[in-house]
Structure 1
C-alpha cells in the first residue's frame, strides 16, 4: 500500500476527518471510529511506517513516549477500571490499516464494552468530536 492510499495518512493530510485527542510534531492521536469502548484512541506516528517491523527506533521512541500522557488523560476523563494497550502487526494479527498504530482501549465492565478479542463497532453510540474534546481538556 502506498502512502497515498493510507487512510491514516489521509487523516494526517486533512483529506479525511478525525476526532483529534492529541497532536505534536511527531505524533497524532485520535478516536477510533469503531469505539470498542468509550474513549478508544489510536496513537500514530506522523511519518508513514507500515508496522512495528518497519519502524525505526527513533519513531517508536517518539510514539511510545506519548502513550502515558494520553492514557492518563483517558483515565482522568472517564475513570475506566483498566485499559488495554494493543498494537497489531500484519493482517493475520488483525491489522486492518497498514500504518503503525497503538490502540488505547479503556475497560469499564467485563465484556460489556464490546472488547472480547472481537472488534464490535459502536460508532453510533458516541459523538466522537464530543469525546475527543473531553479528553483533550486533560492532556
Structure 2
C-alpha cells in the first residue's frame, strides 16, 4: 500500500499544497480555505480527490490559475505510464485506476475552470499552457496547467508594482506580453473568492453532465 510520502513528496511545493488541502466529500469547491496553511500562501479554488486549482504565486496577469494533479506525476508521460501499467498486483492496479481518473478529471475541470476564469475576469481570450521538462520551462516538476487570462490592451495587466522574477521572463516571452510578478495576498484572496463562487455556479449548471471528479 502506498504511503502519504509517496503521494506527496516533501520537496514538491504542489504536493505540500495537496497534503494541506484534502478533498471535502461534500463539495469540490472549498468554502473558505485558509491560505496560510502553506508558505507561501495558497489561494485555493478547487480541491478534488484527483486535481487541485489555485492562483499562481507569480502571475503573468491577474487571475492566472494553476490546475494540477493531486498525486505526484512529473510529466504527462509519467501520468500515461501509470495509466497503462500491466502489473497484476493490487497496488499497481489501483495506481493505474487513479492515474486514469486523474486524466479524466483534468479533462473535466479545464473547461470548467476556464469558464469561471472568463466569468470573473471578463476576458474572452486566455492561454492554457502545460510544460514538460526544464527545457520546456517547467519549473515545478509536477504536472500543472497554466490558465492565463489575456486582457485587452490597458486592462488589468500586471502594473509593474510587484517584484519581477527576471529569470522567468525569457521562458514566458513566447506566451505573449506580461511579466511575472509576486502575487499580492490580499488581491489573491479576493480573486480566489470570486473564482470559487463562479466555479460553484459553473458546476451547478453542469453537474448532470458527468461525475463529480
TM range (shorter): 0.7 to 0.9
2:76 to 31, 37, 52: 52
**Alpha-carbon offset, residue 117 of structure 1:** 2.8
Structure-2 change in CA distance of 1:122 and 1:111 (3 Å): farther
TM-score, length basis structure 2: 0.59
**Alpha-carbon offset, residue 80 of structure 1:** 1.1
Secondary structure of 1:84's aligned partner: strand
Q: Is 1:121 matched with 2:180? A: yes
Partner Cα distance (1:51, 1:29) in 2: 17
Partner Cα distance (2:9, 2:174) in 1: 28
Indicate the residue corresponding to 1:33 in structure 2.
57
* Alpha carbons 1:81, 1:109 under 8 Å: kept: no
Structure-2 change in CA distance of 1:76 and 1:53 (3 Å): same
Partner Cα distance (1:21, 1:48) in 2: 19
Indicate the residue corresponding to 2:194 in structure 1.
134
Map Cα deviations across residues 71-118 of structure 1 (whole Å, 9 max, x no partner): 000101111130100000000000000000000001003598367437
Q: Is 1:108 matched with 2:151? A: yes
Partner Cα distance (2:154, 2:145) in 1: 20
Q: Which has the larger radius of gyration?
A: 2
2:13 to 7, 16, 25: 7
* Structure 2 stretches lacking a partner, 5+ long: 1-7, 21-36, 84-99, 159-171, 200-213
Indicate the residue corresponding to 1:74 in structure 2.
117
Secondary structure of 1:43's aligned partner: strand
Runs (4+) of structure 1 exceeding 4 A deviation are none
**Alpha-carbon offset, residue 13 of structure 1:** 1.6
1:19 to 17, 40, 43: 43
**Alpha-carbon offset, residue 63 of structure 1:** 1.4
**Alpha-carbon offset, residue 12 of structure 1:** 1.4
* Structure 1 stretches lacking a partner, 5+ long: none
**Alpha-carbon offset, residue 27 of structure 1:** 1.0
